[in-house]
Structure 1
């Protein structure tokens, strides 16, 4: 009898896991239906201005504005936003901490193996910050690769590490740090010669920090490699198809109406530089077809 009860328990647990993996809630409905019923969606945002940040107790940013508009149009009135370290977003999604993650996260082939991305929402390039006066005369990743004595601080989980390695920078030259303030501190203290990240993120972070020891390299040469420019999107658990497709449908409406440009403009984004070509698809980016 005891073995029979254990067998029943194993079967029940397997069914519960199967429901979660297929995008279904344990109550029998889909993830989308469950969120609509509750009226709340848990969204993980990377703490990166201008994509997502807290100001006067309120979450703001381009990624926040897009997610809020999409979910409101899906009948989900409240976005329960949680700021997180960038490197913790995908693990948090997989662990069920979030229903969705979004922060202008770049769609990359590697990440496409871990999550299902929605369609691209915005595009952006890379930026470089150095000590005031740019004493090492750094204007590109190639300049960093050419000088093995240069050390660059990079936020954990960011794509810039891979970009630099592909541009010839030795991995030993790269110092991983938890966040942008830590990368600034590394350069200001002399522990690193430069830091790199998403152009708008580090530029606005520097303006907010008012660092007189650091400067933004205005003539930074964008690397001519796959992944640049980057295309940011929301990400969903693998096989959570109904929620992702519903999100994409509302996102498409925002693109076609031009509303997406209006949503992100208050945060420093421009239609010319940051709005994605409507013909570009996540599938093509995951497959590397657009580079």
Structure 2
């Protein structure tokens, strides 16, 4: 059963997952995957809504959109929304100034150096940083990936915590030899974690059908080729 009214897919400006492109189109691996899965269900048109991370889940809960770009699955988030089957598993990374690459090698190193960590508010990396000993007053919260990158580039923060793949995707689109990516080690909370599309709880029937479509797509030749084209190494999806 297709929900009444248009299906609205909320996404972030965060390559290589999703980003707005010329002519009002949206690009990225998550966009290609959601498009293919919906097409498999006979749904050829859906709306795409750019938003901020802070609004992703509240927008689902209030019915402003039907589903969102994949994000990490946590018990707290599952109280608000439902998740599809996992579609990728990604490790954390730090975006730092190139000169600090050796010094700021992970969350604990940021804590020891009393450096400032910038995070997109509400993302799980803030808790990882706190668990590693970074003082709360040394954590800077912003709303978007672009704001976090600017904070590091301008010296308002020393490291930006997100998934390493997001940092690589950003630098692939906007190269900057003054910035470098550090992958957080597994013993610092850098274990790959699963991400999945989020759905409003009122859309359980659509989510179940969507999962069936995902099962036929993920791991297929089309999917492996598409993810490789967006820079994902094998083992991260």
Common fold by TM > 0.5: yes
Written as runs of structure 1 = structure 2, the 5 A alignment for 1:268-287 is 268-270=231-233, 272-275=234-237
Structure with greater contact order relative to length (CA < 8 Å, sep ≥ 6): 2
Higher strand proportion: 2
TM-score normalised by the chain length of structure 2: 0.91
Q: SS at 2:103's partner residue? A: coil
Structure 1: runs of 5+ lacking an equivalent: 1-31, 276-291
Q: CA deviation at 1:202?
A: 1.4
How far apart, in 2, do the equivalents of 1:126 and 1:134 lie? 17
Structure 2 residue aligned with 1:236, among 196, 199, 203?
199
**Equivalence for 1:51:** 17
**Equivalence for 2:117:** 152
Structure 2 residue aligned with 1:120, among 83, 86, 110?
86
Greater radius of gyration (CA): 1
How far apart, in 2, do the equivalents of 1:114 and 1:225 lie? 28
**Equivalence for 1:110:** 76
After superposing the two structures, state which structure 1 stretch, 252-261 or 227-236, moved more: 252-261
Establish whether residue 69 from structure 1 lines up as the match of residue 36 from structure 2.
Answer: yes
**Equivalence for 1:6:** none
**Equivalence for 1:250:** 213
**Equivalence for 1:197:** 162
Q: CA deviation at 1:251?
A: 0.7
TM-score normalised by the chain length of structure 1: 0.75
**Matched-pair contact (CA < 8 Å) for 2:13–2:19:** yes
Q: CA deviation at 1:132?
A: 2.6
Q: CA deviation at 1:225?
A: 6.3
Alpha-carbon RMSD: 2.1
Establish whether residue 185 from structure 1 lines up as the match of residue 150 from structure 2.
Answer: yes
How far apart, in 1, do the equivalents of 2:71 and 2:162 lie? 12
Establish whether residue 33 from structure 1 lines up as the match of residue 33 from structure 2.
Answer: no
Structure 2 residue aligned with 1:165, among 96, 116, 130?
130
